[in-house]
Amino acid sequence: MAEIRRYPIGIQTFQDIIEGKYIYVDKTKYIVDFREQGLKFVFLSRPRRFGKSLFASMLHAYYEGKKDLFDGLAVGEYEKDWVKHPVLHFDMSGAKHFDAERLTSYLNWQLQPYEEAYGCADDDNSTNVRLANLVKRAYKQTGQKVVIIIDEYDAPLLDVVHEEENLHKLRLIMQNFYSPLKMLDPYLELVFITGITKFSQLSIFSELNNLYNISMYDRYSAICGISKTELTTQMRHDVELFAESMGIGYDEMLTRLKDYYDGYHFSRHSEDIFNPFSLIMSMASHELGNYWFGSGTPSYIINVMKKFHTGISDIEKKGAGVTDFDVSPEQMTSPLPLLYQSGYLTIKKYNPITQRYVLDYPNHEVRIGMLQALAPNYLAPRQMDNSSFLGDFLDHLCEHDMNAALERMRVYLASISNRLSNKSERDVQTVFYLIFSLMGAYVRVEEDSAVGRADVVIHMPDTIYVLELKYDGSAKAALQQIDDKGYLIPYSANGKRLVKVGINYDSAKRTLGEWIVSESKYYVQSMTNEDFMMRAIALSIDNVRNGGGPFGAVITRHGKVVATGVNRVTANNDPTAHAEVTAIRNAARELGTFDLSDCEIYTSCEPCPMCLGAIYWARLKKVYFANDKHDAKAIGFDDSFIYDELALPRDERKLPSEVMLRDEAQEAFRLWSEKKDKVEY
């Protein structure tokens, strides 16, 4: 019988998780960090449902001295003297959609149980005075400094962040409530505040200038969420059980979980963080689904995007400066920082020179969820209608009937044309972008335009459709562009049917005009040296856009592509993962041999010494390259020093080396020399 694993679905109380023997990823090492650094006023920003409340609950239990709950955890091994502090824990998550009167009542309700415990004065009528006196009484009665935990501090304000008048009223109430915190310093052990937005954006803690914001520091990048390290160690067994239920291997399961729920970066050099809510829900159900995004409609996000007239294509791979995260709502000119802090975008790259971040969707779940939330603004107003169209379109493709699929699209576009703002080419491009992006929830779709890639590429189980779209042009011209630009080349080695589709959009009719569907066999049968090199170059360009180095390689055999490779050194943390080495590994695996003497390699740049050595060892019969080593040096890839080093005597090289235990090592060489059935290489 398989082991039953208890997942804490909907449970945000640390004590309940521990006592209920639910799975818990140990985050108590951060308490040790806080203690050793002597942190006192701490702020943490993270998206909703990312574990902020659980971390706050864990702090609550620790400072109340509940030692037994921490047995076997990092802080349990660290702490020797357990001290019980009075803890005032204010959860603001219930104060959403409130006006000024209801917000004040909510704050009174939050104060009441602590006043019942520590007393109150009859003349304590304002919330700030009551909070100040409450802290002083708790300190006096217990003899211990007070811990204040404020969870989801910005919850009352997020829904009105786009409404200047209401935002101002509610902000004044919150400012007043928190105003005593700085002057209470002598009575406080720790103040820990969580929220979605940075405190400076909502200007609530303007007087608390000693608040330490840990939100974007590398050492705290995994304080909430589940890191890949934690997943592959503390939760490895859970991944194995999931993989078994799916009928796939462990590595494949990791890849799927990464595609769906990974990709969050909360600092410049953050490790990848998985969404904990989606990951736990997925583990419990053994289903890959849209859990986090589906758990709440980001209405305030949609409203802010409307306020700044932000289009769908304005979100992906966009830049934001460091100072943008500190801008108040009244001064905001873009929703990007708010999208980041809310978890809909994440850091993909940081430029230390310009101090700018590149923001993008973190993963498949968020991208598809965001597009589905925005789709009614451009497509049919009901999600059901959009899903029905996409389902019909893909059903026709599964039946190898592209003409029927496009006819269904013609009817659908005609039904939504009146929703387009000005019937411009940009509107049409947005509609097509949305349609094919949403298809990505079901099949692999490429929408980015790049060298060697058409407007849209749809990957079906046995067929690849390459689509080129024209606006008031001709289907013939679109089809010709597919041929002229070599858009089929990247897919010629897949062993699938290749179907090219030229489409014209008729602006007068506001739907599809003519189209031409043509199955192609040319590239499968005959490709030139230039075709292969263009493929390597296209790989290098795409790889840069996908977070890798600017290098691509293609290995061919008898005029057909055998394998490809791109540089994934930084992406995979593998210093040997150069494009040529990766391509050689893939080719050897594909052909089932280490001897590639009947193969040729096309690489976007002259091979480095390591790759050249690998090429020699693989016995490839010819190398073709585009950029040379001087071009590589000009952008920071200089490997000439390796050749210089190899020319020097061993004792003059910069890398120290020492000969040791040579006699012992000779035994392996002796055994190899005497081996009768060895395979020479």
Active site residues: 580
Task: Determine contact, residues 23/7, Cβ cutoff 8 Å.
Answer: yes
Task: Classify residue 136 by burial, with Cβ atoms within 10 Å: 0-12, 13-18, 19+.
Answer: middle
Q: Do 503 and 468 meet the contact criterion of CB atoms below 8 Å apart? A: yes
Residue carrying structure tokens 């796939």: 248
CA dihedral for 134, 140, 143, 145, sign (positive or negative): positive
**Cα–Cα distance between 26 and 235 in angstroms, integer?**
11
Q: CA 609, CA 601: separation in Å to the nearest integer?
A: 15
Q: Provide the residue count of the chain.
A: 681
Report which of 509, 352, 356, 510 is spatially closest to residue 431, judged by C-alpha positions. 510
Tokens of 266: 């909360």
What SS3 class is residue 257? helix
Residue 556 token pair: 């061919």
Whether the CB-CB separation of 629 and 606 falls below 8 Å is answered with yes
Q: What is the CA radius of gyration of the chain?
A: 30
635 conformational bin, left if phi > 0, alpha if psi -120 to 50, beta if neither: alpha
d(CA 300, CA 160): 7
What CA dihedral angle connects 614, 615, 620 and 623, to 10 degrees?
170
Strands 622-627 and 599-605 turn out to be: parallel
Strands 318-321 and 356-360 come out as antiparallel
Pair type for strands 318-321 and 212-213: unpaired
Per the DSSP assignment, residues forming a β-bridge with 601 are 555, 623
Distance of alpha carbon 104 from alpha carbon 189, whole angstroms = 27
- The two tokens of residue 528 are 């030139």
d(CA 584, CA 219): 37
Asked if residues 310 and 334 have their Cβ atoms less than 8 Å apart, the reply is yes
Question: Residue written as tokens 């035994």?
Answer: 667
